[in-house]
């Protein structure tokens, strides 16, 4: 909460339309929290929540808080122009970070920005909460978008 108001995380700019929405099948047992990011990467055709060690990023699933079952299919926003508000898991936002890279991390099943880590460079910072350090606005890094594999791999 910020100033008595529940923060809303998720996409904050206008969508490019249905062209960037694709269906993805989730890996089972991924815990999806309401006050969390929902960035995923692909593993053998199944969407998995991005963690600190993930080397690629694919999109953001549109899902409510729950634990998906085997075969659950979600809409996934793959728009590289999308801007998402996510919680800050570590580090302190400063205005000088705009345009910098950072990683995603998971803490107590909350996916958020690790502002003090830029090993995988999952995200590009575009804005943030310089007062309370609760959130940061980010874009997916296009240089690691996709699976990193060829179709014949």
For the cut 60, the answer to whether the pLDDT of residue 131 exceeds it is yes
Whether 41 shows a pLDDT value over 50: the answer reads yes
* Whole-number Å distance between alpha carbons of 15 and 84: 11
pLDDT digits (tens, 9 = 90+) for 56-104: 999 999 998 999 888 899 999 999 999 999 999 999 999 999 999 999 9
Report the alpha-carbon distance of residue 119 to residue 102 in Å, rounded: 8
Would you tell me how many other CB atoms lie within 10 Å of the CB of residue 73?
A: 12
- The CB density around residue 132, as the number of other CB atoms within 10 Å, is 12
Q: pLDDT tens-digit profile of 21-34?
A: 999 999 988 899 98
**pLDDT score for 1:** 47
Nearest-angstrom CA–CA distance, 50 and 62:
15
d(CA 91, CA 123): 14
**Can you give the pLDDT at residue 16?**
67
- What does DSSP say about strands 73-77 and 101-107: parallel, antiparallel, or unpaired? unpaired
- Output the pTM of the full model: 0.91
> Residue 92 CA to chain centroid, in angstroms?
18
Q: How far apart are CA 137 and CA 107, in angstroms?
A: 18
Domain chopping of the chain, boundaries: 19-77, 84-142
Beta-carbon contacts of residue 80 (< 8 Å; ≥ 6 apart): 139, 140, 142, 145
Angle subtended at Cα 14 by Cα 8 and Cα 19, rounded to the nearest 5 degrees: 120
């Amino acid at each position: 909460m910020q100033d008595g108001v529940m923060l809303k995380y998720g996409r904050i700019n206008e969508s490019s339309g249905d062209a960037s929405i694709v269906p993805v099948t989730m890996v089972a047992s991924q815990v999806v929290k309401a006050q969390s990011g929902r960035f995923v990467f692909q593993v053998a055709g199944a969407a998995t929540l991005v963690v600190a060690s993930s080397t690629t990023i694919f999109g953001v699933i549109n899902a409510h808080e729950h634990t998906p079952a085997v075969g659950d299919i979600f809409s996934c926003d793959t728009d590289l122009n999308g801007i998402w508000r996510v919680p800050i898991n570590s580090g302190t936002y400063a205005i000088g970070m705009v345009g910098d890279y950072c990683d995603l991390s998971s803490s107590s099943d909350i996916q958020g920005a690790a502002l003090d880590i830029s090993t995988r460079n999952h995200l590009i910072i575009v804005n943030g909460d310089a007062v309370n350090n609760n959130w940061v606005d980010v874009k997916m890094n296009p240089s690691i978008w996709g699976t990193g594999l060829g179709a014949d791999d």
